[in-house]
Amino acid sequence: MINGNITTVTHFIILGFPALKKLQLLLFFVGLAVYILTLGGHLIIITIVRIDQRLHTPMYFFLSNFSFLEIWYTSNIVPKMLEVLLDKDKTITYSGCITQLYFLITFGTAECFILAIMAYDRYLAICNPLRYPILMNNKVCLQLAVCSWAGAFIINIPPLISLCRLPFCGPNEINHFFCDAPPLLKLSCIKPHVAELCNFIVATSVIVSSFFLILISYILIIITVLKIPSSSGRQKAFSTCGSHLAVVTIFYGTLMFMYVRPTSNFSVDSVNFNKVISMFYTVIIPMLNPIIYCLRNKEVKDALQKAVRGKCMLLLSKSNTISGGIMN
């Protein structure tokens, strides 16, 4: 599209991993396998929480919310990445690129909020066990979840608006495997100082504030747990936090590295390194999270084993019924 003497970009080309051209087919199959495992793992958690009455608690309500978010979060990135790896269609429209970026930061923000709420939930359960059923009832849980989703969509509107005001009239190649803010801002025809600042302020405020709430919650939890006289009691209290703490450490470590810093001009090596870090928090970590919760959480493991045994018994019963019918 032409505006006077300025050509306005109507689509972008996602370069993906040009340095790994010969390995793109292998990367496609690995990425597809990881994506299937991610969807399967989170769907299992959502299903287990829904069907097992023992898991109808605030902690697992927020866990199923987190898994639902992870499904959308990774589905926003991986399908297009797989398409790029196959060299099928590396183009994405301007509106499609902006939409992908908005949902990326929105779902990421919602995950930060949910993880912070999960930490607060553990704090109430351990530090205020007598008042916990009142403080974290079903109505409060629903309100917190809705506020997390709504807040994530609202707080990311200013960065979206500042980005949409930028003109794109030059190169249209995004040196990444999805539409992320730093590589997209580099393609602007003007210096994107306002957009960079807005993006930095929102990202930093969300990540740091939610992480600070998690940190305070765990400090109070540790202080309370250390006062428990029996070692078995301390171990039981800590066991309910282990999975969440592992997810928080991995998730926030990569997010802080990527977004809690001003945008700058990176070298080619730095850009490739950023792609690796981005691969972790958009593809690998969403796959690891259900594994962490299933392996480190006894209640989830027991519920999963119970569901598997029930399914096996059902299949065996059907098989015996069919065999009996044939014999007769």
- Tell me whether residue 6 is in a domain: no
Lowest-confidence range among 93-97, 185-189, 240-244, 282-286? 240-244
Residue bearing tokens 């807040």: 151
pLDDT at 263: 52
The amino acid present at 30, given as its one-letter code, is: V
**Average confidence (pLDDT) over 84-101:** 88
pLDDT at 295: 65
**Average confidence (pLDDT) over 290-300:** 75
pLDDT at 322: 57
70, pLDDT greater than 90 = yes
| Helices and strands (DSSP H and E) totals, the chain | 14, 5
- Tell me whether residue 2 is in a domain: no
43, pLDDT greater than 90 = yes
234: tokens are: 């301390």
Number of domains in the chain: 1
**Average confidence (pLDDT) over 81-100:** 88
pLDDT at 8: 76
CA angle 229, 232, 238 (to 5 degrees): 95
For 269-287, letters b (16+ CB in 10 Å) and e give: eebeebbeebbbbbbbbbb
Q: Give the Cα separation of 138 and 117 in Å (integer).
A: 14
CB within 8 Å of 140: residues ≥ 6 apart: none
**Average confidence (pLDDT) over 170-192:** 87
Q: Where are the alpha helices (DSSP H) in 52-93?
A: 58-75, 78-85
pLDDT at 2: 42
Domain that holds residue 254: 11-320
* Residue 69: Cβ-neighbour burial (10 angstroms; 0-12, 13-18, 19+): buried
- Tell me whether residue 313 is in a domain: yes
Radius of gyration of the chain (CA): 23
pLDDT at 247: 86
Phi and psi, residue 249, nearest 5°:
-60, -45
The amino acid present at 1, given as its one-letter code, is: M
DSSP 3-state percent helix, strand, coil across the chain (nearest 5): 75, 5, 20
pLDDT at 4: 45
Q: Give the Cα separation of 42 and 154 in Å (integer).
A: 26
Is residue 1 very low, low, confident or very high in pLDDT (cuts 50, 70, 90)?
very low
Residue bearing tokens 């040196």: 175
**Average confidence (pLDDT) over 183-201:** 89
Kind of pairing, strands 6-7 and 11-14? unpaired
pLDDT at 294: 74
268, pLDDT greater than 60 = no
Which of the two residues, 294 and 41, has the higher pLDDT score?
41
219-249 confidence digits (pLDDT tens):
999 898 888 787 777 777 777 787 888 888 8
- Tell me whether residue 4 is in a domain: no
Q: Give the Cα separation of 279 and 103 in Å (integer).
A: 17
**Average confidence (pLDDT) over 179-194:** 88
Residue bearing tokens 């499609």: 96
The amino acid present at 277, given as its one-letter code, is: I
Q: How far is CA 48 from the centre of its chain?
A: 20
Mean pLDDT of the chain: 84
pLDDT at 262: 55
pLDDT at 290: 86
pLDDT at 328: 54
pLDDT at 277: 81
- Tell me whether residue 199 is in a domain: yes
Q: Cα separations (Å) of 180 from 77, 208, 216, 310?
A: 10, 20, 31, 44
164 in Cβ contact with 185 (< 8 Å): no
- Tell me whether residue 89 is in a domain: yes
Is the entire prediction scored with pTM above 0.75? yes
The amino acid present at 299, given as its one-letter code, is: E
* Residue 238: Cβ-neighbour burial (10 angstroms; 0-12, 13-18, 19+): middle
Q: Give the Cα separation of 176 and 246 in Å (integer).
A: 28
**Average confidence (pLDDT) over 21-26:** 85
Q: Provide, rounded to the nearest whole percent, the portion of the chain with pLDDT above 90.
A: 40
- Tell me whether residue 188 is in a domain: yes
**Average confidence (pLDDT) over 258-266:** 57
Which of the two residues, 302 and 263, has the higher pLDDT score?
302
Q: Give the Cα separation of 202 and 109 in Å (integer).
A: 10
- Tell me whether residue 237 is in a domain: yes
Q: What's the CATH number where 141 sits?
A: 1.20.1070.10
SS3 assignment, position 7: strand
